[in-house]
Amino acid sequence: MYSSDEDEPDLELLELLRNSLTVREPTVVRPQTHVVKSAYFIEDNSIDVAIQRDHVIKAADDIWEAMQKNHYSTEIWSEQELHPKAKDEDTLNFIFLMDLLNFSFWSELPQDKRFSIEYRGKRWTGYSSLVAVIQRALDEGIPITCPYFWVDEEVCTDALLRYIFRSAGEEDIPLLSQRITMMRIAGDILCERYDGRFANCVKEANKSAAALVMLLVTNFSECFDDSHQWHGKTVRFYKRAQILVADVWACFNKTSYGTFTDIASITMFADYRVPVTLHTLGCLRYSPTLTTHIYSNLPIPSGHTWEIQLRGCTISCVEKIKKMIEQRHPESRGHVNSILIDFYLYDTAKELEKQALAYEEAGEVGGQLEIRVGTARRVVKGGIARDWEDGERKEKGMMIPNHRTRTIWY
């Protein structure tokens, strides 16, 4: 028992001593890309692009049904005819180069005149043309996936690279000089910082998808820092950095180099194709001015407010579709994410374009093409005009084309 105040213990001193002797777990700071935060900010301030919640709900049900029916999973990546099948470091290097150059394939020219690659008895366009370029070069004994090759300008000359990208059409691949420059820049960084091995960059990320995105954005900023100023804030999309991580995850089927503990941090990849599918599904609505501009096939400069709104609202829309699928279909949790939804929407956009072009080339203006997304039914007329029927809702008009932004970011 203490008889006076002087004999009582100093409680603050005891607490200080207790804290100093307690072993505490270090605070773990999880890497953040801030892409979703940027997308929500853009949606909240957008005046030319809007998300229609009732159509998001319907699309979520239809997309989940279609993904189940078509068995959408990481395994679909290897089913793409030109994707490498081996699960090794050579394939990892292939993916790095592929997504380093994965941008701007749209063309104003007819299908038979645009940039294309003849390979394995077929003519490849769009994204597939890039994969065909890499595979053809490897078949010809050119070490195109080796960073040490990219930086050796005596061996890997600009002329040789132009030969590697030679086209079967009248058009060269868009932004060829920028692609060559990016190979040189990324090659220097890989060779100087990572001993020429992208695998070392993946290792540095310590199985974090967000960390790998930020390593790409920070260390390869000229190649992957897809961020812009809008309404006084920096908004981030990181399309190619994210799709690079997603392709590694999908290719290696969530194992080996594709093991990530936070793959849910990756959003969809804001490009010019997925908005077409979301607009067709009624999930996105555009202002009359923007609609007229896109239908007129007029360019939208990179960083323009319309482009920012299109990309940001597309990301936000897919996040909402993902959450709606998880809420309405609890069995989907752990089996669906924004990556797989993007893969599905992108494939749907390609199917819309491919079959619509077939009608145009055949001159069948009065013909009808039916495309289904789950239970939703789309009837495309003449490859250009379309009727779409979805329950009691019916609209007539033209299927909106891709917006045209010539940029290295997508």
Catalytic residues: 271
Count of C-beta atoms within a 10 Å radius of residue 38? 25
Which of helix, strand or coil describes residue 342? helix
Provide the 8-state DSSP code for 74: T
User: In whole angstroms, what is the distance from residue 161 CA to residue 184 CA?
Assistant: 11
Tell me if 285 sits within 8 A of 52, measured CB to CB: yes
Radius of gyration of the chain (CA): 25
User: Between helices 305-328 and 53-69, what is the axis angle to 10°?
Assistant: 60
Contact assessment for residue 312 and residue 219, using Cβ atoms and an 8 Å cutoff:
no
SS3 of 329, please? coil
Nearest Cα to Cα of residue 338 among 30, 28, 33? 33
Tokens of 159: 């002329």
By 3-state DSSP, what share of the chain in percent is helix, strand and coil, each rounded to 5?
A: 50, 10, 40
Q: Which helix (H) or strand (E) holds 241?
A: helix 239-251
Contact between 338 and 323 (Cβ < 8 Å): no
Residues contacting residue 205 through CB under 8 Å, at least 6 positions apart: 211, 212, 215
Whether the CB-CB separation of 208 and 261 falls below 8 Å is answered with: yes
Q: How far is CA 205 from CA 208, 246, 257, in A?
A: 6, 14, 11
Tokens in use for 217? 């954005």
Distance of CA 187 to the CA centre of its chain: 22
